Amino acid sequence: MDTFPKKSRSERCMPMTVDAARPGFSTTVADLRLRTWLLGPGQPVDVIDLFTDADFKVVVDDRADVHINSRDGRLYLGWFPDGRPGTDGEGWKLAVTGTADVPGYCVSFRKETPAAIVAAAVGSVLATSVPAAPC
């Protein structure tokens, strides 16, 4: 259902008038509907705590980067507090390996991405995981 009334072509193409006495953009703070947004890296533990020892391996390397792998090797999450080497500020890397029939995927987040945002993405991926049927 269209909530906007239909206008004829002549109404849509009518010339606009400009008040030259009041140049510039004019609005009020209320019209801007200002919002606050989650910013800053937050606490990486919000992401890391999503992983259980029973299903995942955690390795901290000599650069203090954290690498988490699923026991089957199909999921990887890396946290790079100083940025992933060879990238421009990549702080998180999430990858899921595909199968012979379906390709996998990966997602990257910058160092400045709030951990709560990364945790939401990781939590969504983990929620889709189910144990494979026994062979």
Collapsed DSSP state (helix, strand, coil) of residue 30: helix
Could you tell me which of 54, 75, 76 has the C-alpha nearest to residue 65? 76
| pLDDT number for residue 62 | 96
Q: What is the pTM of this model?
A: 0.74
Could you tell me which of 77, 76, 44, 79 has the C-alpha nearest to residue 63? 79
pLDDT (tens digit, 9 = 90+) per residue, 40-82?
A: 999 999 999 999 989 999 999 999 999 999 999 999 999 999 9
Statement: residue 28 has pLDDT above 60: yes
| pLDDT number for residue 15 | 62
- Asked whether the beta carbons of 67 and 95 are under 8 A apart, the reply is no
Residue 119 CA: distances (Å) to CA of 10, 49, 56, 64, 75: 51, 9, 16, 20, 15
39 occurs within a structural domain: no
- Asked whether the beta carbons of 92 and 76 are under 8 A apart, the reply is no
- Give Cβ neighbours of residue 90 (< 8 Å, ≥ 6 apart): 80, 83, 84, 108, 109, 110, 111
78 occurs within a structural domain: yes
| pLDDT number for residue 133 | 83
9 occurs within a structural domain: no
Higher pLDDT, 31 or 82: 82
Domain that holds residue 85: 45-127
- Asked whether the beta carbons of 51 and 45 are under 8 A apart, the reply is no
Report d(CA 44, CA 51) in Å as an integer.
Answer: 12
The domain total for the chain is 1
Q: Where are the beta strands (DSSP E) in 1-135?
A: 56-60, 66-70, 75-79, 90-96, 105-110
Average pLDDT over residues 6-30: 66
28 occurs within a structural domain: no
76 occurs within a structural domain: yes
